[in-house]
């Protein structure tokens, strides 16, 4: 098996990026690690990370700029490129198009131009989600014709480009990983969002009947899957089964949405004595109302019909394929993951 000599992590300063640095850092023999990002690496790292920032080479650049990208790839002499750059949810659709579609196009083109062997793309489990329940979905589930939103639509387009670029004849191997519900130290959405809800005293509300299973995935495990995928694509014996494929990546322990939320709240000392259950249809009506009122007041609505549908939907995935072909198993369990995340938040970085 060939080693990972040098890896370039595009989007390496972000939430998942830091976890990727850590996982690549822990490989023996340790590869050269290069970061490409428009943002600098954080000045202070969480205690949850043990890598030495000085061992990581940083390349500042614009994802959509061919020159920036080419320079970084050439300087890094990377045989493996990991592309995990992606904007947060809830932004202008334009940004998604620029980063997810144009950016990914640029990454693929420059990888090919510079003879990179392996491209691992961080897609999203959301690509198959169209608002309908997702029960134990595997990779045979289709990408919906009508996408859920601009984020998922552009992720699906990018994923398809990456898979199409897979070209074993000229020695370029690609794979797309679809993590679901990433959380962990550095998380800006899931756990901090829940903490915010508790601070506002809203942890006593439950939307829906709490029978819907939901995947949460610890960021370190997602990063692990990237390392495994890179190794498989470099391995002449294993690569044919993996290249050009998609893989769902989860913690393999789907759980009821509110059970996870309450576990976070409990760890923070918020235990609601009485839970007020809003049934789904009631909550959707309330969502429309809240949206309307917020519009009048010019404020950001807390409850929206979209959010209600998200927390009431079944959304969990079957990761048999990743287990079998990548040899993936989640190393950090949900409970441990939540504790690590809260420990990070308490560092107040």
Partner 1 sequence: MGKLLQLASHPVELKAALKLKFCRTPLFSIYDQSTSPYLLRCFELLNLTSRSFAAVIRELHPELRNVITLFYLILRALDTIEDDMSIEHDLKIDLLRHFHEKLLLNKWSFNGNAPDMKDRAVLTDFESILIEFHKLKPEYQDVIKEITDKMGNGMADYILDENYNLNGLQTVHDYDVYCHYVAGLVGDGLTRLIIIAKFANKSLYSNEQLFESMGLFLQKTNIIRDYNEDLADGRSFWPKEIWSQYVPQLKDFMKPEKEQLGLECINHLVLNALDHVIDVLTYLASVHEQSTFQFCAIPQVMAIATLALVFNNRDVLHGNVKIRKGTTCYLILNSRTLRGCVDIFDYYLRDIKSKLAVQDPNYLKLNIQISKIEQFMEEMYQDKLPPNVKPNETPIYLKVQERSKYDDELVPTQQEEEYKFNMVLSIIVSVLLGFYYIYTLHTA
Q: Is 155 a catalytic residue?
A: yes
Report phi then psi at 208, rounded to 5: 85, 175
Largest Cα separation within the chain, whole Å, is: 62
Query: What x-and-dash track marks residues 159-198 binding partner 1 by CB under 8 A?
Result: ----------------------------------------
Q: How many CA atoms lie within 13 A of 95 on its CB side?
A: 9
Q: What part of residues 265-324 is at the interface with partner 1 (CB under 8 A)? A: 265-266, 271-272, 314, 316, 318, 320
Nearest Cα residue to 253 out of 349, 167, 158, 317: 317
**Token match 């759980």: residue?**
255
Q: What is the SS3 assignment for 316?
A: strand
Among 88, 259, 289, 349, binds partner 1 (CB under 8 A): 259
Could you say whether residue 202 binds partner 1 (CB under 8 A)? no
Nearest Cα residue to 31 out of 10, 6, 9: 6
Number of residues that bind partner 1 (CB under 8 A): 29
For the bound state, the minimum distance from the C-beta of residue 136 to partner 1, rounded and expressed in Å, comes to 5
For the bound state, the minimum distance from the C-beta of residue 224 to partner 1, rounded and expressed in Å, comes to 20
Could you say whether residue 211 binds partner 1 (CB under 8 A)? yes
Among 195, 262, 309, 315, binds partner 1 (CB under 8 A): 262
For the bound state, the minimum distance from the C-beta of residue 254 to partner 1, rounded and expressed in Å, comes to 5
Set 155, 232, 309, 340: catalytic member: 155
Pairing mode, if any, of strands 56-60 and 118-122? unpaired
**Token match 């809830």: residue?**
90
Nearest Cα residue to 232 out of 161, 137, 166: 166
CA distances (Å), 50 to each of 31, 47, 114, 332, in order? 16, 7, 31, 16
**Token match 């920032």: residue?**
53
Could you say whether residue 340 binds partner 1 (CB under 8 A)? no
When the beta carbons of 103 and 337 are compared against partner 1, the nearer one is 337
When the beta carbons of 9 and 148 are compared against partner 1, the nearer one is 148
For the bound state, the minimum distance from the C-beta of residue 314 to partner 1, rounded and expressed in Å, comes to 8
Would you say the C-alpha torsion 94, 226, 110, 70 has a positive or negative sign? positive
Query: What x-and-dash track marks residues 114-143 binding partner 1 by CB under 8 A?
Result: ------------------xx-xx-x-xxx-
For the bound state, the minimum distance from the C-beta of residue 92 to partner 1, rounded and expressed in Å, comes to 30
| Cα gap 182→218, rounded to integer Å | 6
Q: Mapped to the 3 state alphabet, what secondary structure does 8-48 carry?
A: EEECCCCHHHHHHHHHHHCCCCCCEEEEEECCCCCCCCCCC
N- to C-terminal Cα separation, the chain: 40
Task: Select the span of 37-45, 152-160, 173-181, 207-215 touching partner 1 (CB under 8 A).
Answer: 207-215
For the bound state, the minimum distance from the C-beta of residue 74 to partner 1, rounded and expressed in Å, comes to 43
Among 158, 334, 344, 345, binds partner 1 (CB under 8 A): 334
For the bound state, the minimum distance from the C-beta of residue 216 to partner 1, rounded and expressed in Å, comes to 11
Among 253, 268, 285, 307, binds partner 1 (CB under 8 A): 253
| Cα gap 338→187, rounded to integer Å | 11
When the beta carbons of 67 and 136 are compared against partner 1, the nearer one is 136
When the beta carbons of 271 and 289 are compared against partner 1, the nearer one is 271
Point out the residues that are catalytic: 155
Chain residues that interact with partner 1, rule: CB under 8 A:
132-133, 135-136, 138, 140-142, 210-211, 213, 253-256, 259-260, 262-263, 265-266, 271-272, 314, 316, 318, 320, 334-335
């Amino acid at each position: 098996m060939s080693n990972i000599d040098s890896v370039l992590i595009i989007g390496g300063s972000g939430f998942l990026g830091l976890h990727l640095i850590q996982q690549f850092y822990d490989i023996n023999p340790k590869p050269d690690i290069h970061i490409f990002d428009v943002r600098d690496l954080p000045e202070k790292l969480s205690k949850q990370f043990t890598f030495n920032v000085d061992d990581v080479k940083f390349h500042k650049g614009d994802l959509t700029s061919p020159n920036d990208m080419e320079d970084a790839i050439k300087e890094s002499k990377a045989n493996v490129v990991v592309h995990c750059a992606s904007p947060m949810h809830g932004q202008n659709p334009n940004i998604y198009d620029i980063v997810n579609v144009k950016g990914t196009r640029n990454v693929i083109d420059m990888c090919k131009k510079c003879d990179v062997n392996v491209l691992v793309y961080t897609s999203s489990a959301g690509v198959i989600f169209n608002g309908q329940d997702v029960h134990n979905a595997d990779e045979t589930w289709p990408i919906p014709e009508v996408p859920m939103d601009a984020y998922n639509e552009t992720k699906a387009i990018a994923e398809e480009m990456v898979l199409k670029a897979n070209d074993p004849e000229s020695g370029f191997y690609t794979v797309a990983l679809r993590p679901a519900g990433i959380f962990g130290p550095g998380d800006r959405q899931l756990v901090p969002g829940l903490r915010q809800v508790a601070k506002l005293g809203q942890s006593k509300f439950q939307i829906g009947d709490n029978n819907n299973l939901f995947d949460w995935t610890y960021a370190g495990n997602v990063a692990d899957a990237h390392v495994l995928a890179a190794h498989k694509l470099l391995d002449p014996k294993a690569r044919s089964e993996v290249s050009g494929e998609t893989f769902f990546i989860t913690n393999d322990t789907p759980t009821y949405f509110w059970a996870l939320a309450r576990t976070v709240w409990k760890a923070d000392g918020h235990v609601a004595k009485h839970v007020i259950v809003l049934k789904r249809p009631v909550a959707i009506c309330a969502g429309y109302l809240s949206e309307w009122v917020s519009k009048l007041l010019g404020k950001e609505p807390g409850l929206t019909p979209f959010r209600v549908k998200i927390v009431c939907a079944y959304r969990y995935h079957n990761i048999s394929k990743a287990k079998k072909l990548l040899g993936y198993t989640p190393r950090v369990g949900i409970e441990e993951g939540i504790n690590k995340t809260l420990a990070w938040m308490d560092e107040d970085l």
